[in-house]
Amino acid sequence: MAGKAKKPSLTARMVNQPKSGFKVTEDRYHPIRLAVLEALPRGGEGMLFEDLVREVAGRVDRQLFPKLGSVMWYTKVAQRDLEANGLVERVPGQTPIRLRKKRVGSRQ
C-alpha cells in the first residue's frame, strides 16, 4: 500500500498524569520545545502562559505553524513535558499560573 511516509514521533509526558502523554511529531515538537526554553526566564516571577505563547509564536517557523492555535497547543504540550522532565516549573502560589525554567539544584 503506497502512502505518505510516517514522520518520526515521540510521546510528550504530562506532569499531572505520568502514565499518559501526547503523541506528537518530532518536527513540530522540537522547535516549540526549544522556543519555550529560550523564552522562559530562569527563576524570578516567571511568565504567564499567554505571554509565553506570544514569545514562542515569534520564534518558530510560521510555515510550520501557520495558525496561532497550533502554536498554543504545542506550547502547552511542551510545557507539560518540560515540567514532567524537571526543566520547567510553576511559580508557587500564583494564579493564573506563571512558568519559569527550573533553577539548577532546586528542590520542591
Q: Looking at residue 94, which CATH number applies to its domain?
A: 1.10.10
Q: How many domains does the chain have?
A: 1
Q: Is residue 18 part of a domain?
A: no
Does residue 1 surpass a pLDDT of 80?
Answer: no
- Its domain, for residue 34, covers 23-101
11 vs 62, higher pLDDT: 62
- pLDDT tens figures, 21-76: 878 889 999 999 999 999 999 989 999 999 999 999 999 999 999 998 999 999 99
CA distance 49 to 54: 9
Q: Is residue 11 part of a domain?
A: no
Q: Is residue 12 part of a domain?
A: no
The model's confidence at residue 13, banded by pLDDT at 50, 70 and 90, is confident
Q: Is residue 32 part of a domain?
A: yes
* Nine cell digits for residue 79: 510545557
